[in-house]
Amino acid sequence: MTESIYRFTHDIPSIETYRHLRQSAGLSAKTLEAAARGLPNSLFAVQVLCAGETVAMGRVIGDGGTFYQVVDIAVLPAHQGRGLGKRVMHEISAYIEREVPPSAYVSLLADGEAYRLYQQFGFSLTAPASVGMAFKKPAA
């Protein structure tokens, strides 16, 4: 159970907060341009605040009808191990239950052992039926 020192909001993080939280939590860095373009297109976002600072976040992106992807689940290291990732996923799961049409496909990519967290919210491994792939544009 998360401590009462945390407050949850359904707001998109600022560009600075987003970039800081991703890097601090060990996720890949995003350029200022990429964050500025992408964040406004969020379908849903949740932030966890402690003393006014965002210490955890998560987002849902997609086309709003047929495809959705859970992204940017990040918790600052000093706040890990307190159930915040689980609470972020709880908020995202409530959004999915409330807003996503029955025929839509909701996906995510899990790093390392994080798949265990996502399994608690109904996500399952897709291999060998399907295998995730990625394309990363080379830096200019």
Predicted pLDDT at 108:
96
Predicted pLDDT at 99:
97
Which amino acid does the sequence have at 10?
A: H
Whether the pTM exceeds 0.85: the reply is yes
Predicted pLDDT at 137:
83
| Annotated domain spans of the chain | 6-119
Predicted pLDDT at 105:
97
**Backbone φ and ψ of 55, nearest 5°:** -115, -10
Q: Nearest Cα to 10, choosing from 80, 59, 55, 51?
A: 59
Predicted pLDDT at 12:
98
Predicted pLDDT at 3:
61
Domain 6-119 CATH superfamily = Gcn5-related N-acetyltransferase (GNAT) (3.40.630.30)
Predicted pLDDT at 37:
98
Q: Which helix (H) or strand (E) holds 22?
A: helix 15-24
Along the chain (140 residues), what's the average pLDDT of each consecutive run of 10 residues? 83 98 96 98 98 97 98 97 97 98 96 93 93 85
Predicted pLDDT at 139:
75
